[in-house]
Amino acid sequence: MDIRNIAIIAHVDHGKTTLVDNILKSTKVFRENQDAGELIMDSNDLEKERGITIFSKNAAVTYKDVKINVIDTPGHADFGGEVERVLKMADGVILLVDAFEGPMPQTRFVLQKALQLNLKPIVVINKVDKPNCRPDEVHDAVFELFFNLDATEAQLDFPTFYGSGKNGWFNDSLTPTENIDVLMDGILKFVPPPTVSEGALQMQITSLDYSSFLGRIAVGKVARGSIKEGQQIALMQADGSVKKQKVRELYVFEGMGKRKVTEVLAGDLCAVVGLEGFNIGDTISDAEILEALPVISVDEPTMNMTFSINNSPFFGRDGKFVTSRHLRDRLMKETEKNLALRVKDTDNGDTFLVYGRGILHLGVLIETMRREGYELTVGQPQVIVKTIDGKKMEPYENLVVDVPQEFASKVIDLVTRRKGEMHVMETKGEMQHLEFEIPSRGLIGLRTQMLTATTGEAVMAHRFNEYKPWKGVIPGRNNGVLLAKQTGTTTGYSIDKLQDRGTFFVDPGEEVYAGQIIAEHIKPGDLIVNAIEGKKLTNMRASGSDAATNIAPKTLLTLEECMEYIQQDECIEVTPNNIRMRKVILDEEERKRVSRSMKTEEA
């Protein structure tokens, strides 16, 4: 059977998953009367809520008797580890670019990976129905990007298609059509069939699937030979060990699901059931002829956080999994499929150091665990500092901000205060396009401040660039916090009296404990307040003093916003029903004692 393997890569929100929807609908994967909805491939609850792709997924469609394996990839730099490994399964890539925004930092990152693997690119300029779009300029910018990334002559000669995923058309010109057939024909014409070398079986595991019925399933592309049901194979691992195992069942992708088969030939993607103890990057080879494929290399993590058990006074109220053993087992299980994640034990048996690509990467892990019934405490995210040639080095990132012109000066001021340097400033229509180089530390907490300063108009994107010398101290949060003095239930009477002291994160009637952060102070420095005091009632009627209290609703912070908000002596308590910020040391006297001893040590 004729096969094409294609990955769809793009910056976040440029329309990858919508394009996959169009491919699935145009090839009649669904019945005429079946309502499949939108963003079909984003099946995970978190993906649906956030409107982003987190995990890469496969679908297979048949068009003009050719099987096309389509791989949808995430667009966020934090999930770059997903993109790096799934590109190994593709023979061509569709680079999707927004007709207004043009190539963005993540576009550059994933395109570079694809070109290094010598994949054939097809450029699709999406959203040409938007006002202010500039498809011709964007086409030139894409060509320039290819050139800067040292693309070969063949790669520079890329075909370009224009269209609107939302309106369901793509064409090789700007003239709207009825459907996406022109693009589908382009895939058949420009994407080469898989290159297959002669010889015994070779297949690299590039992805994992899990079924409660079948257990762990290995997914990858058969690079050479063929794999059969019941075949004896050798599992060759990264550490050089070889395990002899047997293939129990084989599946190929069909539509949104899988179909059981007895044999898969080289060039096709398949799922293998029955293997044990495998990891991503391992090679499945012939039992007799042992030849491993090169191990998949994934960029290093740039950030770490401490994960520990929940040790607050409200421990064990919400969660099912609360011990350090539960926490350790869950984190180790995550490292099997999440390649960019690392977990290290610390001197304290209840605490683990978790390394990831960024706040969103770690935030999605914490949110997933919380929904599974885990209780845990996480500390402030820290960037990973290295010593190279005796010098202290830290990670730097490229930051791109598109913002209306009247806010450009505020953005520049915010970034330069955090040790960022501006490299590019261009006008794109009514928007100002700014590019900076900034230490990764400076990005923590920047998004919230920037959205406040630009009334939510700024669009920012960033990706890791390289390690450079340490830039010195970056100012953190300016304001202190209000801490609860004792454990109890907050009252409207107390909060009303304290409203002029800060912005509250709790409503009246919520349970709080001593040392919990309940509000942001209007000044620097922390303040301990009593938020659980009720009104002293007498049997005398008071004239006019019982006017209704006007309490502003609490400020709701998402998990990622809490991670960016807290300082080094603070942490977040995460349970299935609550996210609370607190001091690491809850007792006030103990905090003072520790702070005094630290000052003495410094002196």
User: What pLDDT digit, counting tens, does each position of 65-92 carry?
Assistant: 888 888 877 655 555 566 767 788 888 8
For 481, what's the count of Cα atoms within 13 Å in the CB-facing half-sphere?
21
Name the residue type at position 178: E
Residues 441 and 511 reside in one and the same domain = no
User: Has 17 been labeled as part of a binding site?
Assistant: yes
The widest CA-to-CA distance across the chain, in whole angstroms, is: 97
pTM of the model: 0.76
- Angle CA 239–244–247, to nearest 5: 115
We report the CATH number of the domain holding residue 395 as 3.30.70.240
Give the mean model confidence (pLDDT) for residues 278-297.
81
178 part of a folded domain: yes
Predicted pLDDT of residue 375: 93
Q: Judge if 497 and 564 occupy the same domain.
A: yes
Count CB-CB contacts under 10 A for residue 144. Answer: 12
Spatial distance between the Cα atoms of 173 and 146, rounded to a whole number of angstroms: 21
Kindly give, in sequence order, each residue whose CB lies less than 8 Å from that of residue 198, ignoring residues fewer than 6 positions away. Answer: 224
Instruction: Report the distance separating Cα 381 and Cα 451, nearest Å.
Output: 20
| Position 326 in a domain | no
Residue that finishes a domain, picked among 429, 444, 469: 469
Q: H or E segment at 520?
A: strand 517-521
3-class state of residue 86 by DSSP: helix
Residue 325 domain-assigned (yes or no): no
Q: Are strands 249-254 and 226-228 parallel, antiparallel or unpaired?
A: unpaired
Q: Write the pLDDT tens digit of every residue in 402-415.
A: 888 899 999 999 99
| Same structural domain, 512 and 440 | no
Whether residue 174 sits in one domain with residue 37: yes
Last residue within a domain, chosen from 286, 311, 344: 286
Collect all residues with Cβ–Cβ distance below 8 Å to 289 and sequence separation of at least 6. Answer: 199, 200
Is 295 part of any known ligand binding site?
no
The reply to whether 18 sits in an annotated binding site is yes
489 and 445 together in one domain: no
The reply, when asked if residue 496 is annotated as ligand binding, is: no
Residue 31's pLDDT band (cuts 50, 70, 90): very low
In a domain, 353, yes or no: no
For residue 194, the one-letter residue type is P
Specify if 317 maps to a domain.
no
Is the same domain home to 218 and 171? no
| 363/339 Cα distance (integer angstroms) | 16
Question: Which three-class secondary structure string do you get for 95-114?
Answer: EEEECCCCCCHHHHHHHHHH
Q: Is residue 347 part of a domain?
A: no
Residues 444 and 486 in one domain: no
Smallest CA-to-CA distance from 109 within 298, 282, 280 is with: 298
At residue 363, φ and ψ (nearest 5 deg) are -65, -40
The answer as to whether 354 is a domain residue is: no
Mean pLDDT of 392-405: 88
Contacts of 420 (CB under 8 A, 6+ apart): 399, 436, 437, 438, 439, 442
Structure tokens at 287: 């039992």
pLDDT in tens, 464-512: 778 899 888 887 778 899 999 999 999 988 898 898 898 999 999 999 9
Q: How many CB atoms lie within 10 A of CB 568?
A: 10
Task: Please check whether residues 534 and 488 belong to one and the same domain.
Answer: yes
83 assigned binding-site residue:
no
Planar angle of CA 111, 54, 47, nearest 5 degrees: 135
The whole-angstrom separation of Cα 93 and Cα 149 is 16
| Domain-ending residue, one of 419, 437, 469 | 469
On whether 14 is known to bind a ligand per the annotation, the reply is: yes
Domain count for the chain: 4
Strand partners, 349: none
Mean pLDDT, residues 182-208: 84
The answer on 439 and 572 residing in a single domain is no
> What is the domain-level CATH number for residue 257?
2.40.30.10
Pairing type for strands 2-10 and 351-356 reads unpaired
Tens of pLDDT, residues 128-180: 888 878 888 889 989 988 888 888 888 888 899 998 888 888 888 888 888 88
| Together in a domain, 185 and 207 | no
Nearest to 367 by CA among 562, 500, 91, 203: 562
What separation in angstroms does the CA of 514 have from each of 15, 488, 581, 592? 47, 9, 12, 15
pLDDT computed for residue 76 by the predictor: 59
For residue 53, pLDDT over 70 is answered with: no
> What are the pLDDT digits (tens) for 448-463?
788 888 888 887 777 7
**Burial classification of residue 178, based on how many CB atoms lie within 10 Å of its CB (0-12 exposed, 13-18 middle, 19 or more buried):** exposed
The full length of the chain comes to 603
Q: Where are the alpha helices (DSSP H) in 98-197?
A: 105-116, 135-148, 153-156, 181-190
SS3 assignment for 557-575: CCHHHHHHHCCCCEEEEEC
Residue 191 phi, psi dihedral angles, 5° rounding:
-85, 125
Q: Does residue 32 sit within a domain?
A: yes
Query: Is there a binding annotation on residue 281?
Result: no
3-class SS string, 203-228: EEEEEEEEECCCEEEEEEEEEECEEE
- Both tokens of 349, joined, read 């048996």
Q: Say whether both 441 and 519 belong to one domain.
A: no
Residue 171: the pLDDT is: 87
Bridge-based pairing of strands 2-10 and 92-98 is parallel
Contact predicate 110/117, CB 8 Å: no
Supply the pLDDT for residue 40.
43
In this predicted structure, what is the pLDDT of residue 444?
84
Q: What is the CATH number of the domain that holds 526?
A: 2.40.50.250
Beta bridge partners of 254: 257
Domain span holding position 245: 202-286
| Most confident among 26-30, 37-41, 378-382, 453-457 (mean pLDDT) | 378-382
pLDDT, residue 170, reads: 87
* Same-domain status, 37 and 122: yes
Per-residue pLDDT tens over the stretch 533-545 = 888 777 766 555 5
**Backbone angles phi and psi of 573, in degrees to 5:** -95, 120
**CB-side exposure of 256: number of CA atoms within 13 Å?**
15
Nearest to 111 by CA among 132, 84, 71, 79: 84
Give the span between the Cα atoms of 264 and 273, in whole angstroms. Answer: 13
Measure the CA–CA gap between 202 and 333, rounded to whole angstroms. Answer: 26
- 323 annotated as a binding-site residue: no
- The residue to which tokens 């205060």 are assigned: 417
Share of the chain above pLDDT 90, in %: 18
